[in-house]
Amino acid sequence: MAQYALESGYDYVFRTDSDAYCWVNRLLASGFENHDYQGWCIDYPKHLETDKALRTAHGGIGFLLSRKAMEIVVREKPWMQSDGYYWGDIWTGEVLWQHGIRCQRDTRFLDGSNGAQHHGNVFASELPLDHQYISVHPLPVLNMYEMHAKFPCMSDETIPPERQLWWCDIDHNYGTKQPECPCDYCATSSPQIL
């Protein structure tokens, strides 16, 4: 995808899954042009940034890459993750991290796949009329129609929410707790991270 975008003269690319609903007008007004890599990622404590997860943007709801980031991605050979799969979103984040590009964390990309109540079935009725999201994931096809009907004309301008609609305790499973650190991850056994 990045190779095609570069060869076609694009300066940015938005990568998302087919089960995400995106308000394109909001995406275009999101300020993506100010970053090489933008999307939703776990807000790791500073001392964990060098661990394997590397603040990788979640691919389902989508992330943006600049020409600079795409050029880096197309030069690298894909490698398998520790679970034996080729996860493009994780790999992309790891490659960019190695080249000094960090993900610009954006809470306007809402991933409901971690919530026990969803399992791939986000409903329009769960979002308030004044929500600030750019992209929502995951939605089956019928819910796409529902989302489109409920939110036909969303304003372009959005404010990143301090806390997303669905949030859960994040297990920083690649990190090592540091008892002397006061961050939520180290100080508690079940941290509450946005």
State pTM to two decimals. 0.82
pLDDT at 192 over 50: no
> Residues 127-140: pLDDT tens digits?
999 999 999 998 88
Q: Which carries the bigger pLDDT value, residue 192 or residue 34?
A: 34
Which residue reads 């990045």 in tokens?
Answer: 2
Residue 36 lies in a domain: yes
Residue 192 lies in a domain: no
pLDDT > 70 in the chain, percent: 77
Residue 95 lies in a domain: yes
Residue 182 lies in a domain: no
Cα within 13 Å of Cα(5), Cβ side: 19
Cβ density class 52-71: b for 16+ within 10 Å, e for less: ebbbbbbbbbbbbbbbebbe
Tell me the residue range of the domain where 66 lies.
2-166
Residue 188 lies in a domain: no
Per DSSP, the three-state class of 121 is coil
pLDDT at 8 over 90: yes
Residue 179 lies in a domain: no
pLDDT of residue 190: 44
Q: Which carries the bigger pLDDT value, residue 28 or residue 86?
A: 28
Domain count, the chain: 1
